[in-house]
A and B are shown apart, each in its own frame.
Chain A
Amino acid sequence: MPSRDFPQVRLHIVTGKGGTGKSTVAAGLALGLASTGTHVLLCEVEGRQGIARMFDVEPLPYAERRIATGLPGADGGRGGIVHALHVDPESALLEYLSMYYKLGRAGKALDRFGVVEFATTIAPGVRDVLLTGKVYEATKRNARNKHAITYDAVVLDAPPTGRIAQFLGVNQELAGLARMGPIKNQADSVTSLFRSGRTAVHLVTVLEEMPVQETADGIAQLRAHDLPVGGVIVNQVRPRDLGEKDLVAVRAGKLTKRKLAADLNRVGLTGSAELVLGLFTEACDHAERRALEDAQRGLVAGLDVPTYELPRLVGGVDLGGLYELAGLLREQGLA
């Protein structure tokens, strides 16, 4: 079953400012998309082995490994299968060379001369073409390739928002540099997939000023490069145990310590002065934070893209937490 809100999309690219939890969201999305009978591939390209850590498996090689079963459907059907792939530029380059040029010995010679190092770390943009090229290959695969798994959806845990347009709009970078040649051709076909209706770039944010600003900038930049913007996932939303009415009361100074102490006494918490003061301070802080969050939420709503919200997981993100996020994303229609 494809994404409810993005039924045409096969490649989901997840970006976000550092610290907003984009890897977690990408993993949750992969689990959520993997409903009965489907195959989903979760890719990472930043060399961090974050997938291995989240799913508690050995560090991933440059190969597709089965890592989890997707979230079971509401009808009780078994979840689909999630594979993971850790794309590193060196392996991608050597694979690329052997695939297109049958460069067996020359490939090794390239390595000896530091060309692999050069091409993957220093030559501007080439690294990105290699990384996106592999993702492209996995996405475009079809039944003709008998030895490889065909995926119903590919989720890419992409570089952060600040670098995303550069990462995806690779051919712009290369235009001045590689005016022709195979890398340019490769970059062009990758970019045409990225710009098609089969791709969506989702942005993860938290309700704070800088990440929201960066999300807005990121969307503008993606649009300027004709890259399809998907949804905004608001992550790590604080618990909302105080209602709007209560928040107004707190902000208006209507919450009194005496009232708090009386309530606490009633349920047998003989409210020590410190506890009363603590709760009172928390109330004021919380009201201030919620006001800031609401202001940021308003800005997110003004971005004119579908938005989704995920709670902050108090216990931290473990495998169970990922399934919880997957369920919420499915409920809200992103998965």
Chain B
Amino acid sequence: MTRLRSRVGPQSLDGGHPLDVDRLLDDPATGIIVCCGSGGVGKTTTSAALALRAAERGRTVVVLTIDPARRLAQSMGIEVLDNTPRPVAGVSTTASGGSLDAMMLDMKRTFDEVVESQASPEKAQQILRNPFYIALSSSFAGTQEYMAMEKLGQIHADARRDGTYDLIVVDTPPSRSALDFLDAPERLSSFLDGRFIRLLLAPAKGPARLMSAGLGMVTNALTKVLGAQVLRDMQTFVAAFDTLFGGFRQRAQKTFELLQADGTAFLVVAAPEPDALREAAYFVERLGEDDMPVAGLVVNRASPEQHGDITAEEAMAAAQRLRKDGADSLTAGLLRLHADHMRMVERETLLRHRFEAAHPQVPIAVVPALAGDVHDLAGLRQVGALLAGERPT
């Protein structure tokens, strides 16, 4: 069992202020939590841990994950992709009255469902079979981001209508840049609505000469690069998709507004590394510009707190003396490890303080690294407790 204890030692947040995770989770006004950050920082684990904690504190929660580790997915019962939230077994919510559902995003299926819901059955079939659509829906760098946001919009709308969930926790895809999920919907919808599409449609619709004198040159160049077949596939796709374009833009716009709404909280997840923190800082700024203020920064996998009040140098010196004495190498080894830890903690603290100096308004939660991997509910519960600032005694 873990018990609450105040933060001491190098992980106390002397400069900034701590993020009150429980208050965020308990606040009924919090309807959506989006976890973002660069790849490999533990976004998926963080979202799952937050969702579990919220559920066990009484919220009706659904967590939308993108690409969880196999064993974690298994333990949550979501290793099967069916694009629908499923109840997670083993959540202790009897006392709190909460619940937890989870789902893993199937990007192609989500895209297909949007097409099916927007177009007539025949037209939908025509689109779904188009080679260009197949490539677009399964491999466009950005489709995953777009579909994650689309699914969020859907679940949110359903939850509003049916009262199914009062909190949605979203994991974001491991993009090249953490910002892709913000930009992708706009990019895709502006493409689908844009000049280029009108250009492709123009020959089918007639008054091509109104477009531009450069039209022939452009189609010519495109044919050269992509080949005539691709261009034809694209034209068929665009013609079939024509009536859906406006809808797509509207949906993207709606999702964007949803992200700006008061009930949406962004948590930026980072590792205590310069690159991850730089990305996090960039993200904080960008979200601010888009009126999506960041609720906090989660610094994952921090070197665990140190006990004892000796410096790294003292520990190294003592280790050397022990070695000279020919004494027990185990203690000497431990002292060297201790020194190594101290240096890591020092470096991480410095990095975090720099972040705080630049973004004093962003509260921070520091999650010490666990000795083992997280792949079951017990592990998630432990991460959740650490997120909330509890430390094992």
Name A residues whose Cβ lies closer than 8 Å to a Cβ of B: 17-20, 46-48, 50, 53, 96-97, 101, 103, 105-107, 109-110, 112-115, 117-119, 121-127, 159-160, 162, 166, 173-174, 176-184, 208-211, 213, 239, 241-243, 246, 249-250, 255, 259-260, 263-264, 266-269, 272, 274-279, 281-283, 285-286, 288-289, 292, 314-316
- Chain A residues lying within 8 Å of B71, measured Cβ to Cβ, are 209
Name the one of A109, A122, A181, A286 contacting B136, with C-beta atoms under 8 angstroms. A122
- Give the docked Cα–Cα distance between A210 and B132 (Å): 33
Q: A121-B187, A275-B307 are in contact. List 18 more A-B contacts (CB 8 A).
A: A18-B38, A19-B276, A20-B40, A47-B176, A96-B225, A101-B224, A110-B218, A114-B194, A124-B138, A162-B174, A177-B131, A183-B230, A274-B308, A276-B308, A278-B308, A278-B338, A314-B343, A316-B347
Q: Point out residues on B near A: beta carbons under 8 Å.
A: 38-41, 67, 69-71, 131-132, 134-136, 138-142, 174, 176-177, 187-188, 191, 194-196, 199, 212, 214, 217-218, 220-230, 233, 271, 273-276, 304, 306-310, 314, 318, 321-322, 325, 327-338, 340-341, 343-344, 347, 371-373, 375
Please give the distance in Å from B359's CB to the nearest CB on chain A: 20
The reply to whether B228 and A242 contact each other, CB–CB distance below 8 Å, is no
Given A210-B373, A246-B329, A274-B307, decide whether A177 and B218 contact each other with a Cβ distance below 8 A: no
CA distance A107 to B196 in the complex (A): 14
Can you name 26 A-B pairs with beta carbons within 8 Å? A17-B39, A50-B275, A113-B196, A113-B199, A113-B218, A114-B196, A121-B142, A125-B139, A160-B39, A160-B174, A174-B135, A177-B230, A178-B227, A178-B229, A181-B223, A209-B375, A241-B334, A242-B337, A263-B322, A267-B318, A278-B307, A278-B338, A279-B335, A286-B334, A292-B371, A316-B347
Nearest-CB distance from A90 to chain B (Å)? 14
CB-based contact A184/B194 at 8 Å: no
Q: For chain A, what secondary structure do more than half of its interface residues adopt (helix, strand, loop), or is it mixed?
A: helix
Residues on the A chain within 8 Å of B347, using CB: 314-316
A257 to chain B, nearest CB (A): 11
Q: State the majority secondary structure of interface residues on B.
A: helix
Shortest beta-carbon distance from B354 to chain A in Å: 13
Beyond A19-B41, A114-B195, A279-B334, is A183–B227 a contact (Cβ under 8 Å)?
A: yes
Please name all residues of chain B whose beta carbon is closer than 8 Å to the beta carbon of A173 when the two chains form the complex. 135, 139
Rounded to whole Å, the gap between the CB of A32 and the closest CB of chain B is 22
User: Which 4 A/B pairs are nearest by Cβ-Cβ distance?
Assistant: A181-B227, A19-B40, A18-B39, A278-B307
Partner of B318, one of A239, A269, A282: A269
Q: Is the CB of B330 within 8 A of A249?
A: yes
Cβ 8 A contact of B333, one of A47, A243, A266: A243
Are the C-beta atoms of A268 and B321 separated by less than 8 Å?
yes
Partner among B38, B196, B310 whose Cβ is within 8 Å of the Cβ of A275: B310
Identify which of A46, A125, A159, A282 contacts B334 (C-beta below 8 A): A282
